[in-house]
Amino acid sequence: MKDEVNQLKSRRGYITMVLISVVLGLMIAVQFKVTQGSPTDFTRRTQDVVAELKQVKEERDNLKNELDELNFNFNKIVSGKNESQDALLSELSKARKASGLIAVKGPGVIVVLNDSSRSIKPGDDPNLYLIHDEDLLKVINELRAAGAEAISINGQRMLATSEIRCAGPTIQVNGNRIAPPFAISAIGDVGLLESSLRMKGGVLENLEFWGISTNLDKPKEVIIPAYLGTIKFKFAAPIEGE
Over the stretch 153-174, which tens digit does the pLDDT of each residue have? 999 999 988 999 988 888 999 9
pLDDT value at residue 8: 43
- 95 inside domain: no
- 21 inside domain: yes
Residue 75 shares a structural domain with residue 126: no
Residue 215 shares a structural domain with residue 129: yes
Residue 110 shares a structural domain with residue 201: yes
Give the Cα separation of 116 and 12 in Å (integer).
151
- What's the mean pLDDT when you consider all of the chain? 79
pLDDT value at residue 3: 46
pTM for this prediction? 0.62
- Give the total number of structural domains in the chain: 2
Give the Cα separation of 191 and 188 in Å (integer).
9
48-53 contacts, C-beta under 8 A, 24 or more apart: none
Give the Cα separation of 181 and 135 in Å (integer).
13
Give the Cα separation of 113 and 180 in Å (integer).
7
- 136 inside domain: yes
Residue 123 shares a structural domain with residue 24: no
Give yes or no for residue 13 having a pLDDT over 60: no
Report the sign of the C-alpha dihedral through residues 224, 225, 226, 228, in that order.
negative
Q: What values do phi and psi take at 43, rounded to 5?
A: -65, -45
Contacts of 10 (CB under 8 A, 6+ apart): none
> 31 lies in which domain range?
1-81
Among 76-80, 182-186, 205-209, the least confident range: 76-80
Q: How far is CA 235 from the centre of its chain?
A: 28
Residue 158 shares a structural domain with residue 214: yes
Residue 106 shares a structural domain with residue 139: yes
Share of the chain above pLDDT 90, in %: 40
Residue 15 shares a structural domain with residue 58: yes
Residue 112 shares a structural domain with residue 65: no
Mean pLDDT value across residues 29-47: 58
Q: Does residue 84 contact residue 189 with C-beta atoms inside 8 Å? A: no
Q: pLDDT band at 217, cuts 50/70/90? A: very high
pLDDT of 41-63, one tens digit each?
556 666 666 676 777 677 777 77
Give the Cα separation of 112 and 89 in Å (integer).
36
CATH number of the domain within which 207 lies: 3.30.70.1880
Q: Is 170 left (phi over 0), alpha (psi -120 to 50) or beta?
A: beta
Residue 132 shares a structural domain with residue 187: yes
- 19 inside domain: yes
Q: Is 39 left (phi over 0), alpha (psi -120 to 50) or beta?
A: alpha
- 166 inside domain: yes
Residue 185 shares a structural domain with residue 122: yes
Identify which of 212, 153, 162 has the alpha carbon closest to the alpha carbon of residue 185.
Answer: 153
Give the Cα separation of 63 and 107 in Å (integer).
55
- 59 inside domain: yes
Residue 114 shares a structural domain with residue 65: no
Among 120-134, 146-160, 206-220, the least confident range: 120-134
Residue 71 shares a structural domain with residue 139: no
